[in-house]
Amino acid sequence: MNADVLDISAGTVSSGHSILIENGLITWVGPMSNIPAEHVSREWDIVDASGKYVMPGLIDGHVHVTAATADLGEMATWSPTYVAAHTARNLRAMLHRGFTTVRDVAGADFGVAMAVEEGLFEGPRVVFGGKALSQSGGHGDMRSMGMNMIDPHQCCPSIGIVCDGVDAVRKAARDQLRTGAHHIKIMLSGGVASPTDRVDSTQFSESEILAVVEEAEGANRYVCGHAYTARAVNRGLRLGVRCIEHGNLIDDESVKLFVEKDAYLVPTLITYERLKADGEAAGLPAASREKVDTVLHAGVDALDRANKGGVKIVFGTDLLGAMQVHQSQEFRIRAQVQTAQEVLLSATITAAELIGFEGKLGVVAAGAIADLLIVNGNPLEDVTVLADPEASISSVIQGGRVVSTPAGLTAELVGQ
């Protein structure tokens, strides 16, 4: 009660509002004097947010919750239970930074999502894609040049499936969809963390990409594509890929295609800054560190180009290992070229639309899931306050339950 509530879509703040929550959902938002009569006589657990702002919980559209190290090839040899322990720690930290939902784009599976849903792990709800699809020698193939064997097991340490040919990629896509994947990720270009490919390469044939898109569409799901160069991005968009991850080297034609295809872009700018600064200490192999500069300085320009061109942009971070502590710094980088409202939209309403939770997440409104942040400053005035969650976030509320709070606030909200 007594909160200043953010309407991120309108870019406005409503003062002195109260929010009623029952069974994890918001049932009413408005001035205390206007509370519906049927609620007035009821007993409510109350959180007084006087002098603070209430906003939707944040959504990170590109994470790897199982990535306990930047050396993904080495991690593939780890025990799945050891990876799960790291995953639990990563998830809890993300939630306490204000991220109440994340989209995992290679690594997390249905087991991780269920562990959060059932309360076995404390963390944001996980919208997962399972394993990413990669060609031999592609961004998801973590074998060194001298390694020939591929471990075919389906458990968590390996983030990708190596598959070649239309039949193989169809089977791989169907296998991920069988496990409940919300999307299918495909590697459209080379990347930084993979040991043997070039960042400027294109990956998979057109027929292979079309096969994955067909399988995803048949299951009412979509394909997201890892891609850096305009050549790889534009190729993927023309073939029906709905969402591009990274896109640091896009051009004007890319922007036109994004708008024409009603596709999404998920930049991940903080990861390159941290890979440059911390990559070696975090376990990034030397061959991968040499590729960072190719994409490091182009990302902000690409974001600016896409933003001015009207592309749907989603907040993402893509941090690995110990670098995940810098997740919130993405707000600082994006503020260089986007308004506060534009950055907030990318981490709430636009992200919710991408993951199929439009109207349910990313808003403070009746009928929405009660994922909320109580913050000390107004991020619509200065979004960089969210770059320091310890200082800016007073409480994190997920599904109507206060999961992070200073002393003195109740641990349960109305209707629980």
Which position has the higher pLDDT, 101 or 107?
Answer: 101
Give the torsion sign (CA, 343, 348, 352, 353).
negative
Clarify whether residues 79 and 49 are in a common domain.
no
Clarify whether residues 14 and 133 are in a common domain.
no
Query: Per-residue DSSP letters for 302-325?
Result: HHHHHHHTT-EE-------GGGGG
Clarify whether residues 28 and 80 are in a common domain.
no
User: In this structure, what CATH number is given to the domain that contains residue 98?
Assistant: 3.20.20.140
User: In this structure, what CATH number is given to the domain that contains residue 26?
Assistant: 2.30.40.10
Whether 190 is in a domain gets the answer: yes
Residues 225-240 as b/e (b if ≥16 CB within 10 A, e otherwise) read bbbbbbbbbbbbbebb
| pLDDT band at residue 139 under the 50/70/90 scheme | confident
Clarify whether residues 171 and 296 are in a common domain.
yes
The percent of residues in the chain predicted with pLDDT above 70, rounded, is 86
Whether 409 is in a domain gets the answer: no
User: Would you say residue 407 has pLDDT above 50?
Assistant: no
User: Would you say residue 336 has pLDDT above 60?
Assistant: yes
| pLDDT band at residue 412 under the 50/70/90 scheme | very low
The rounded distance, in Å, linking the Cα atoms of 269 and 273 is: 7
User: Would you say residue 283 has pLDDT above 90?
Assistant: no
The rounded distance, in Å, linking the Cα atoms of 413 and 98 is: 17
| pLDDT band at residue 279 under the 50/70/90 scheme | confident
Instruction: Give the pTM.
Output: 0.92
Each residue's pLDDT tens digit, 211-269: 999 999 999 999 999 999 999 999 999 999 999 999 999 999 999 999 999 999 999 99
Each residue's pLDDT tens digit, 165-214: 999 999 999 999 999 999 999 999 887 666 566 778 888 999 999 999 99
Clarify whether residues 52 and 147 are in a common domain.
no
Clarify whether residues 247 and 270 are in a common domain.
yes
Each residue's pLDDT tens digit, 285-324: 676 666 677 677 889 999 999 999 999 999 999 999 999 9
Whether 412 is in a domain gets the answer: no
User: Would you say residue 408 has pLDDT above 50?
Assistant: no
Overall domain count for the chain: 2
Question: Among 237, 128, 254, 236, which residue's Cα sits nearest to residue 189?
Answer: 236
- What average pLDDT does this structure show over 350-374? 98
| pLDDT band at residue 152 under the 50/70/90 scheme | low
Clarify whether residues 263 and 346 are in a common domain.
yes
Whether 89 is in a domain gets the answer: yes
Q: What pLDDT, on the 0 to 100 scale, is given for residue 416?
A: 28
Whether 410 is in a domain gets the answer: no
- What average pLDDT does this structure show over 328-356? 98
The percent of residues in the chain predicted with pLDDT above 90, rounded, is 70
Averaged pLDDT score across all residues of the chain: 89
Q: What pLDDT, on the 0 to 100 scale, is given for residue 184?
A: 98
- Range list of β-strands (E), 140-180: 160-162
Clarify whether residues 346 and 305 are in a common domain.
yes
Clarify whether residues 13 and 52 are in a common domain.
yes
User: Would you say residue 61 has pLDDT above 60?
Assistant: yes
Whether 416 is in a domain gets the answer: no
Whether 299 is in a domain gets the answer: yes
Clarify whether residues 139 and 265 are in a common domain.
yes
Please name every residue paired with 175 in a beta bridge, in sequence order, or none if there are none.
Answer: none
| pLDDT band at residue 146 under the 50/70/90 scheme | low
The rounded distance, in Å, linking the Cα atoms of 333 and 202 is: 28
Clarify whether residues 373 and 249 are in a common domain.
no
Q: What pLDDT, on the 0 to 100 scale, is given for residue 414?
A: 36
Which position has the higher pLDDT, 136 or 349?
Answer: 349
| pLDDT band at residue 76 under the 50/70/90 scheme | confident
Which position has the higher pLDDT, 152 or 56?
Answer: 56
Whether 350 is in a domain gets the answer: yes
Q: What pLDDT, on the 0 to 100 scale, is given for residue 277?
A: 85
Q: What pLDDT, on the 0 to 100 scale, is given for residue 147?
A: 54
Clarify whether residues 73 and 166 are in a common domain.
yes
| pLDDT band at residue 411 under the 50/70/90 scheme | very low
Q: Please name the residue that has the structure tokens 């600016």.
A: 304
Domain of residue 306 covers 58-354
